[in-house]
Amino acid sequence: MMTDFTGEHKWLQIQQELSLRKLLEGSEYQEELKYDFNIKGELRHLDTNESFVFNYYKNAHEQNHKRYQVLGHSITQYVYELLERVCMLQKVYIPTDATEDEPQSFFFMSENALTSSSNLIVLLQDSGVFRAGQWEQRTIVSVGLGHGTQIPFIKMALQSHGGVIVLNPNDNFLDLKTEKERLSFSTWEEPPNSTQSVWWIPKRGSSSPEEHTVYVWDHFISKSTAKNVAFIAHGYGGLVFVDLLVQRKWEVMNKVYSVAFIDSLHNIQHQTRNDPQIQEWIQKYCCEWVSSSKPLNKPVGTLMKVNCPTVSAGTEKYGLAPSCCLCAIFKYLKSTLKAKTTTAFRRSPVRTRSRTSSKTGNK
């Protein structure tokens, strides 16, 4: 899978300019993190060529966790670079009306995605420490970029559907201690359930995954020329999409033609407040792939009485589910888009010549 991740020539060129090792320079764990990605996108030790060792310090959970956090932060910056330099996506800062010293979040989108693409795919990841472009950080570390990042999805979306938007729902606060920035704000907020004496500043329009998604919808997606929008939502991202659907019901139902859930955490009965129109829409226009021992695309039973069709992702491993069902998802999106186009064509009025005009034309 990794061979087609970027194209070997382009990947080699980017690798010469971009290095995870360089991003780790200057950190307190520089010597303990002598790792970089190889040509296959696998994280390997520069001296031993071995995979990443999670339990580096024996019986020192806190120190191992800190070391992993440093690595994770560098991977986030590395993936951001790949989104811009390999996928050629543009970084868009929000809120759009931010003041000069106000903390901002951002997301990524393809060039002219809002103006020249009739089809648009939006990627919405699970909750966690990982940011835009990542499905699951631990999968990136253990398996590789081709399985843990969204880049294969982005490439396929650009090839087959036109435009793509990569949301960044987990970038919610500015941590003054981590970012080493000092901003003058009258309102300070500490994250819930925090036991650390660290002050955080919420990012307006993105203080939660739900708020981030609604903001990007209101200011970008809803205003795009794209008539056919599809979402691919993983884990908590599925719950966030259903929240968007409830908040912007008619807009979403009219503009979104299909949703592919992956191990989604949404709860239709609870979230939709028994709205029959939303429930019917989800059943008709959504499909979910779940981690399962069954072969890919085989139906999987669900206890939910009101739900969309549910099939196997072809793996029992949660972190590998997105990459395992990638082709199946795009095949599904292609078929649902074709069905929508066919239906619209059948419903459009057919122009026919009247007998008079046809006689006139034959003279």
Chain segment 114-159, per-residue pLDDT in tens: 997 789 999 999 999 999 999 999 999 999 999 999 999 999 999 8
Q: Spell out the domain ranges in the chain.
A: 1-86, 89-172+204-346
pLDDT of residue 9: 62
**pLDDT band at 182; cut points 50, 70, 90:** very low
**pLDDT band at 54; cut points 50, 70, 90:** very high
**What is the pLDDT averaged over residues 321-350?**
82
pLDDT of residue 8: 57
Cis omega (within 30 of 0) for bond into 295: no
Residue 299 above 50 pLDDT? yes
| Residue 207: CB atoms within 10 Å | 17
| pTM metric for this prediction | 0.87
Name 361's bridge partners: none
Chain segment 228-287, per-residue pLDDT in tens: 999 999 999 999 999 999 999 999 999 999 999 999 999 887 888 789 999 999 999 999
Chain segment 338-350, per-residue pLDDT in tens: 888 776 555 544 4
Chain segment 61-112, per-residue pLDDT in tens: 999 999 999 999 999 999 999 999 999 999 999 999 999 989 999 999 999 9
Chain segment 198-221, per-residue pLDDT in tens: 578 999 999 999 999 999 999 999
In angstroms, the CA 234 to CA 326 distance is: 12
In angstroms, the CA 159 to CA 272 distance is: 34
In angstroms, the CA 286 to CA 301 distance is: 16
**What is the pLDDT averaged over residues 181-205?**
56
CA-closest candidate to residue 40, choices 2, 87, 12: 2
- Fold classification of 89-172+204-346 is Rossmann fold (3.40.50)
The full 3-state SS of the chain, as one line of letters, equals: CHHHCCCHHHHHHHHHHCCHHHHHCCCCCCCCCCEEECCCCCEEECCCCCCCCCCCCCCCHHHHHHHHHHHHHHHHHHHHHHHHHCCCEEEEEECCCCCCCCCCEEEEEECCCCCCCCEEEEEECCCCCCCCCECCHHHHHHCCHHHHECHHHHHHHHHHCCEEEECCCCCCEEEHHHHCCCCCCCCCECCCCCCCCCCEEECCCCCCHHHHHHHHHHHCHHHCCCCEEEEEEECHHHHHHHHHHHHCHHHHHHHEEEEEEECCCCCHHHHCCCCHHHHHHHHHHEEEEECCCCCCCCECCCCCCCCCCEEECCCCCHHHHHHHCHHHHHHHHHHHHHHHHHHHHHHCCCCCCCHHHHHHHHC
pLDDT of residue 356: 39
